[in-house]
Structures are given as structure tokens and as C-alpha cells.
Amino acid sequence: MTVKKVALLTAGGFAPCLSTAISGLIQRYTEVAPDVEIIAYKHGYEGLLKGDFLEVTDTVRKNAEILKHFGGSPIGNSRVKLTNAADLVKRGLVAEGDDPLKVAADRLVADGVDVLHTIGGDDTNTTAADLAAYLAENNYGLTVVGLPKTIDNDVVPIRQSLGASTAAEQGSRFAQNIVGEHNSGSRMLIVHEVMGRNCGWLTAATAAKYREWLDTQQWLPEIGLSKKAWDVHAVYVPEVHIDLEAEAARLNKVMDEVGNVTIFLSEGAGLDAIIAEMEKDGQEVPRDPFGHVKLDKVNPGAWFGKQFAEKLGAEKVMVQKSGYFSRSAASNEADLELIGRCTDLAVDCALAGKAGVIGEDEENGDTLTNIAFDRIKGGKPFDVTQPWFTTMLSEIGQA
């Protein structure tokens, strides 16, 4: 196919890869197909529906490298599901009776777009899959090529989603200061809530990165600078049931010995118990347009903080969330390398008219390839049997 114009969009929550991925796509097109026009829809699918976009000028092309030094997304994100017509009508993005997929497809045609690059997580790419299927079924002759962004690292069958490595590293940096608060009161309980609705990978990887940092430090327990006090004492992920009573008994011993307890908690860990308690009390469980529980409203960290504070006799409790700190960071070296390879292949596939999501395919020997949209799924669970994770739990005394 002949590609004359491509469009980019970023969607869903932020991850430390969006700005870098935009940079990589612009640089690759400039290198191999400099005559291709590039636009970027503002605030994801919202901008697509509204026809609101930025033009990638020659100045942007020449200076695209600058984008790699920043987190966030310069073109903006939003949470829009193209198959949730009722929500889109309510938000004024489509008219009553309109098919949002047709509105989006017609807008792409009106804007002269041949290729759409979507950069997002499972919701973004499942929405991209819906759009790609609609385009194909209705002979629009457009190609959609996605890039997998999510700090949860939970996209099937992709080995490593873009931005996840950086998010774990940044979560560790966040913890280095937060855990320093452990002596700001006696019998101190710290809950470090980490993003991860269904998948505990980020919480586990953040704890592992933090403990790697601990191993690089010198300690002086004689004056109270104790590695035991600075350590992680519990790591809770959605894939493992939390026995509150058993863990309270174990952590009480830690509190008595060390004087503080630090918990790394996935925001989705124990969520069923929290929801059940809310529904039992007659409370409405808030949900977003995708049907997900609004975790910022439910506040799992505060719930667990309250549960453990009572059981551990904590005199001071601090709940801190590293999510926004982590997800808006600039890409680290590992992500820069991975994103670079993915954006190069994304452009090559786009120019060849090959739709799909670019990633290292776990079901195909971790080969970097163009994965068919119908194979992309969200909610990949974290494998809690991995040796690095089981070893960490053993070292901190958690069954």
C-alpha cells in the first residue's frame, strides 16, 4: 500500500514510554519515509472523534529526540472506549444514535489518514482491535499498528510492555524516601501502594528493585541505621490470597523486633474483600467507562492500613502511593532500547500494510514481531512461582 499520511495517538493511563514512543515513530518515519505526513490526535480517541490534532512539523521532526527526555505524553491521553456509545454520548463526543466506530473511521478518512498508530495498554489496544476490525469489515483500507504501554506489564502475549521497567525503577526511588519515615514515630506502619489492578508484577518488581538498592548501602545498626528496619516486610499482589490473621501474627513479631513494618501493596490486592465489604454496607462501587472499579475512590491502601494498624498496634500509619510518581517518569535505558526496537518495527509494518500490536511474543520464543489484534488481551497474571519472587518472599519471611 502507499502510505501518505499517518496519525498517532496515546490513550489510557500514563506510562514512562509515551513521549519516547512518539519520538521513536517520528524519527523512524523521518529516516525511512520522510515524505509521509504525520499528525497526532490530542487526548487519544477523544481527539480522533473530535478531529482535534497537531501537525508534526519540520521543527518537530528535527527535534523529536527532545521528547525522550520527558515523561507523560505531549499529545495528551484520555480514557475513551469506542464501543461504549452511551458514555460517549454523555460526554458529548458522539451524537445519540451514532456508531462511534463509524464516527472514528469516517474521521480518519476525512483527515486523509492511511495508518493509525495507537500507543496504550490493554484497553487502548482492545479498542484499537475493535476499530481495526471495523475498518477491515467495511473496506476502509486503513491500517492500525499498536504499541503496548502499561506499567502493570499485563498484556497477553507480550513479554515486557513499554514503560514497565522504568515504573519499577521509579517506584524504588519513591520508596527510598518514603521508607525513611519509619522512625518518624514508634510502632510505625508504612503502606506503599503500587499500581496494579489485576497484576502484581509492578509491585513485586518495585520491591525487588528497592531491595537491590538496600544491598548497595552501608548500614550502622549501632546508632539505629538498620537494614532490617529499612527492608520490605510484606509484598501483597492480586494473584495471592492474603490471610490477614496469619500475616498480622507474623508482622506483629517484626514490629516488636524492629519497631516498624513496611508493606508493598498492589492496589488490586484483596480488592474482592474490599468490594464485598462496601456492598454489604450498601455503598455503591464506583466504576469507569470500561467497567473497572475506580481504585482511587475505593482506596485499597487506606483500607489495608486500617486493618493492619489495629492488628499490629501501630501508633502511626502512613499510606503512600507511588503510581503517579512512577508512571509519569522519562524512560530509563532499558525502556529506551526496547521502545526503539518496537517503534522501528511499527513503522516498517505500517509501511507494509501489516496491522497488529508490536511486542516480544511470549508464545513465539519472545520474538519481536507484529502480533495480531485478536491475540491481544489484558489481565495477564503475574507468575508468582518465578524464582526471583519466591526467593524475595523467603528472605523477608513471608509464606
- Cite the active site residues: 152
Query: SS3 letters for 112-174?
Result: CCCEEEEEECHHHHHHHHHHHHHHHHCCCCCEEEEEEECCCCCCECECCCECHHHHHHHHHHH
Instruction: Return the residue matching grid coordinates 502512613.
Output: 318
Does the annotation flag 250 for ligand binding? Answer: no
Report how far residue 147's alpha carbon sits from residue 69's, in angstroms, rounded to the nearest whole number. Answer: 19
Report whether 35 belongs to an annotated binding site.
Answer: no
Q: Is 151 annotated as a binding residue?
A: yes
Q: Is 272 annotated as a binding residue?
A: no
| 185 marked among binding-site residues | no
3-state secondary structure of 1: coil
C-alpha cell at 384: 508468582
Buried b (16+ CB within 10 A) or exposed e, 324-349: ebbbbbbbbeebbebbbebbbbbbbb
What would the grid cell of residue 293 be?
A: 472499579
What DSSP letter does each residue of 295-350 carry, written as one string? HHHH-HHHHHHHHHHHHHT-SEEEEEE-HHHHHTSPP-HHHHHHHHHHHHHHHHHH
| 186 marked as part of a ligand binding site | no
Residue 117 has which C-alpha cell? 498508530
Task: Tell me how far apart the alpha carbons of residues 304 and 191 are, in angstroms, rounded to a whole number.
Answer: 8
The answer to whether the bond into 387 is cis (omega within 30° of 0) is no
13 is in an annotated binding site: yes
Q: Is the dihedral of CA 99, 104, 107, 108 positive or negative?
A: negative
**Residue 287 marked in a binding site:** no
Question: CA-CA distance, 141 to 284, in Å (whole number)?
Answer: 44
Distance CA 179, CA 156 (A): 33
Residue with cell 482491535: 129
How far is the C-alpha of 208 from the C-alpha of 168, rounded, in Å? 9
196 labelled binding-site residue: yes
Is 359 labelled as part of a ligand binding site? no
Please check if 326 is assigned to a binding site: yes
Max CA-CA distance within the chain?
74
Instruction: Scan for cell 514503560, then name that residue.
Output: 163
Q: Cell 504499541 maps to which residue?
A: 147
296 assigned ligand-binding residue: no
Residue 262 is labelled as binding a ligand: no
Query: Which among 218, 224, 193 has a CA at the least distance from the CA of 322?
Result: 193
Query: Which residues are part of a known binding site for substrate?
Result: 150-152, 195-197, 267, 324-327
Query: Which residues are part of a known binding site for Mg(2+)?
Result: 122
Query: Which residues are part of a known binding site?
Result: 13, 122, 150-152, 195-197, 267, 324-327
Query: Which residues are part of a known binding site for diphosphate?
Result: 13
